[in-house]
Chain A
Amino acid sequence: MTPEILRAIADSNQWWAIGPEMILGAAALALLVLEILLPKEHHRFIPTAAIVAQAVTLLGTLINFQTAWLGQETFAGMLRHTVYGQVARVFFLVSSLLVSFLATVCLPRTRMPRIEFYHLVMVVTAAMMLLAQSNNFVMLFVALETITIGFYILVSYFRDNPLSLEAGLKYLVMGALSSAILLFGIVLLYGAVGKVAVAGQTHTGLEFPILADFLRANPDNFVATVGTLLVLAGIAFKIGAFPFQIWIPDVYQGAPTPVTAFLAVSSKSAGIAVLLILVHGPLAALQPLLGPVLIAAAAATILFGNLAALTQRNAKRLMGLSGVSHAGYLLLGVAASLTVSWAIGAVWFYLTTYLLAAMAVFGVMAHLAGKDDADQELEGYDHLAKDSPLLAGVLAVGVGSLAGIPPLAGFVGKLLLFVAAFQARLYWLLAVAIVGVVISIYYYFGWIKTAWFETWRLPGAAESPGAHPPSTEPTLAGRLTLGLLALATVLLGFFQGPLGAWLQR
């Protein structure tokens, strides 16, 4: 190699641009090495090491939030660094930290290996962070598949439990199907654009800016339209939007509780992040097509999620189906963001409130779950307020925020989305969303009622068969984490100023 080539390589050194992802990936590999090197009695420190590594990465990302790469493309146009990409990085890191905390509660109950779980969570999180900054369909597809394949393993992690394996198989079939649909859509977009020469260099439709230019010039191209619809369908599978939500209840119920939380929060947010990138980047010229599709999907998703959740008696299925309706509210935000630009900030704000509230609820579920992780009937929450006031309080705050009760963060999140939809003149969709919120209050309050109020029984009748005290008493760190989540949910309902300003920058 000549010195010139070496100098060119040194000048184009962009590895610092993906520093957080690199640190996370290296730490994930280091965990596996630690497992081999450390003697067995010290293995219990490895989860702590994983959490510390993620906290350090989070701290570094926060300190370096205004990175020098903002607004630039790196790695020959593979990635594009934006403020929302930075927000997504912080979001996914916080989420993975909380998932790791849930894992420290749930995993010791089984005889499964533990280290690999944290390894997979960290690798999947790194892929999500890359996905939220992708600027090329190759990058997008590879990052998305890293996430999906990681989730196949995580969902079926309790491999001695047939329910977990069955959920894994269902997620596998549905995930692979959606990936194939997404890939075919990408191929059609690539084929429609063909060969583009810019400044003497050959470019293709796999690059987002080139595709955006092509669609601006030919918005009626048939192949590109079909490709766009297939790509949207593939992403709708990932976020669980109607009519691609059939896998959600079964997979959420069978998966280990930390993985259910990871699916509900991180996986859904990754889908929404990539949808935002696509509709505001390469597909921006197709607004006349995207608007009606997003609006119809949002309305159907909100209604289906809320109506299907009404009859659920299993806490995990309930969280899954109510999560479908939350995906619907987020789609409403995405549809509004086509015309109202601050709606992107509102979507991220809603995701933040959902992260806090859902993680609080899943934290309570993780402490209550018995030997069989899939068996979490709502009857099990009887007497919770008496057995453990802390858990019942956190549950009430979390569920209340999910329902959107006024002083809590979830209310402000919904309010911002609805105001955005109002400004975007989506009146019908807004009406559907409000009906959805009213329906959701019924099943959310049923859950709170089970935990807080005595159910009247015939004198002398047997106790409710499902009721049992928490199987794992929360540790000091657990109490602190759950308390902080609930506190943040309450505080964010009163003072959203700093975060709101931060999101709209």
Chain B
Amino acid sequence: MTICLNHYLVVSVLLFALGFFGVLLRKNTLAIYMCLELMLISSTLALVAFSHFNGTLDGNVFVFFVLTIAAAEVAVGLAIIVALYRQRLTVQIEELNELKN
């Protein structure tokens, strides 16, 4: 069996769905954060697959931009999580609900 574009896409969509439902269902902020990264990475997988099978390089170049952005997002996001942990001593999402009327 040769691996074609659709195989890559199925894997990519599965990973994306995994990340999406992880964000919705997980209770630990760090796990949610990993799921968010999983969604971004699954997009880059699809991007590279499309780029390879369509024979264009733009997708490969776009991946570098996405990776840079993901790195910036992780840097800022982990800083916020660490600062929050210092204040509250927890990163469980159900305990972070002081903003309610």
> B-contacting residues of A (Cβ < 8 Å)?
137-138, 141-142, 145, 149, 152-153, 156, 159-160, 162-163, 165-170, 172-173, 176-177, 179-181, 183-184, 187-188, 190-191, 194-195, 202, 204, 206, 249-250, 253-254, 311-314, 317, 374
Contacts and interface: CB of A to CB of B under 8 A. Distances in A.
Nearest to B66: A183
B40 interface: yes
A254 B87 CA distance: 15
Contact of B99 (A184, A194, A253, A311): A253
Contacts of B36: 173, 176-177, 180
Nearest to B87: A162
- Say whether chain A's binding surface is mostly helix, strand, loop, or mixed: helix
Given A142-B65, A173-B36, A206-B62, 18 more contacts: A137-B62, A138-B65, A149-B76, A152-B73, A169-B96, A173-B29, A173-B33, A176-B40, A176-B73, A177-B20, A177-B39, A181-B39, A184-B46, A187-B59, A204-B59, A250-B100, A311-B101, A312-B101
Q: Which of A165, A202, A249 has the most CB of B within 10 A?
A: A165
Interface string B41-58: 011001101100011101
Interface of B: 9, 16, 19-20, 23, 29, 32-33, 36, 39-40, 42-43, 46-47, 49-50, 54-56, 58-59, 61-62, 65-66, 69, 72-73, 76-77, 80-81, 83-84, 87-88, 96, 98-101
A169 B84 contact: yes
A180 B19 contact: yes
25 contacts: A138-B58, A141-B69, A152-B80, A156-B83, A162-B98, A166-B98, A167-B99, A169-B84, A169-B96, A170-B99, A172-B77, A176-B40, A177-B20, A177-B23, A179-B40, A180-B36, A184-B42, A187-B59, A190-B50, A194-B50, A194-B56, A202-B56, A204-B56, A206-B59, A313-B101
Contacts of B54: 191, 194-195, 204
Contact of B46 (A191, A206, A250): A191
Nearest to A159: B83
A145 B69 contact: yes
Given A176-B73, A180-B36, A180-B39, A169 B80 contact: yes
B58 A204 contact: yes
Contacts of A206: 58-59, 62
Given A162-B98, A177-B23, A190-B47, A142 B69 contact: yes
Contacts of A188: 46
A468 B46 CA distance: 57
Contacts of B101: 249, 311-314, 317
Contacts of A317: 101
Contacts of A162: 84, 87-88, 98
Contact of A163 (B32, B59, B98): B98
A190 B62 CA distance: 11
A176 B62 contact: no
B99 A163 contact: yes
A84 B98 CA distance: 41
Nearest to A194: B54
B87 A184 contact: no
Contacts of A194: 50, 54, 56
A202 B61 CA distance: 14
Q: Which of A167, A169, A311 has the most CB of B within 10 A?
A: A169
A172 B84 CA distance: 13
A290 B100 CA distance: 35
A313 B54 CA distance: 55
Contacts of A204: 54, 56, 58-59
Nearest to A206: B58
